[in-house]
Amino acid sequence: MFAAYTALLICCIAVFIGATAYGFPENVRITFASSITALLMIFPVYKLFTDQKASTLQKVIAALYSLTILFLIFRAVAALTTDLDMNLASTSIFNTWLFLLLYIVMLAGSTGFILLDKEKQDLELLKAASFDGLTNILNRKTFISRSKELISLCLRKQEKISFLLIDIDDFKKINDKYGHFVGDAVLQDFADTLKKQLRDYDLFGRYGGEEFAILLPGADEKAVQEVAERLRSTIENSSVDAGSNIKYTISVGFFSILPGEETDIDMLYKLCDQALYLAKSQGKNCCRSAAEI
């Protein structure tokens, strides 16, 4: 797409140079220049408008540049169909107001791009502060912060909430045998695989090392047991392609509760940590409920 746009730009410049070299009348050259500029702006404006992740600021910038395109088209048509002096050096009131409007719109659009770049940098900083850099899921601090909000929501709605604590089995052996690069690939594969198994509003975070946590709002004991087993089975049947197919498994500790005023993430973590220890002691690659303890 970039190559096609570059080719269009070169063609437009060639057409304008040709029109100037062959001595076309000034009004025709003005029409060429305005039309070419408008044409070159259409694609970037289209991309701004159709970006599904576009912010309000981005849409405002697209609207301003759309207005600029309309101004340029109007100038191109006026240059051919009227006797108005459209020369850049003209002091006619029409030309003065037209270029003043163009200047204001372009200045506002350029300022918008500066603000848009700052907005992008702020989002990247927020993401860096909230997400784990390797697995691209919530880091521990953000997971704990958001879990408080989710627990409070379930408390108000009097809905059950479930917590899962997951550990990759024998992860140290994977690192020792294949190296940390492969270990990182396993962590990334694990996170990517589980994200596809979860709902958009479930919380999924990395607690540290090879330990991960999931919070499922509205899930009772039966539902969380089914989720835990599905996640375990999915990982057992997957593999990481790192030169050779590397298989790995997980152990899961889980618990479901109707939250009360005393319910917090630390309590759920301690309960599921005991269940996870039970799963590890019973051979790994299995799921255990804290209710069994």
CA distance 25 to 275: 85
Asked about 210 being catalytic, the answer comes back as: yes
DSSP secondary structure of the chain: -HHHHHHHHHHHHHHHHHHHHTT--HHHHHHHHHHHHHHHHHHHHHHHHH-TT--HHHHHHHHHHHHHHHHHHHHHHHHHHS-----TT---HHHHHHHHHHHHHHHHHHHHHHHHHHHHHHHHHHHHHHB-TTT-SB-HHHHHHHHHHHHHHHHHHT--EEEEEEEETTHHHHHHHH-HHHHHHHHHHHHHHHHHHS-TTSEEEEEETTEEEEEEET--HHHHHHHHHHHHHHHHT--EESSSEEP--EEEEEEEE---TT--HHHHHHHHHHHHHHHHHTTSS-EEEGGG-
Out of 210, 211, 229, 236, pick the active-site residue.
210
CB atoms within 10 A of CB 277: 16
Give me the active site residues, please: 210
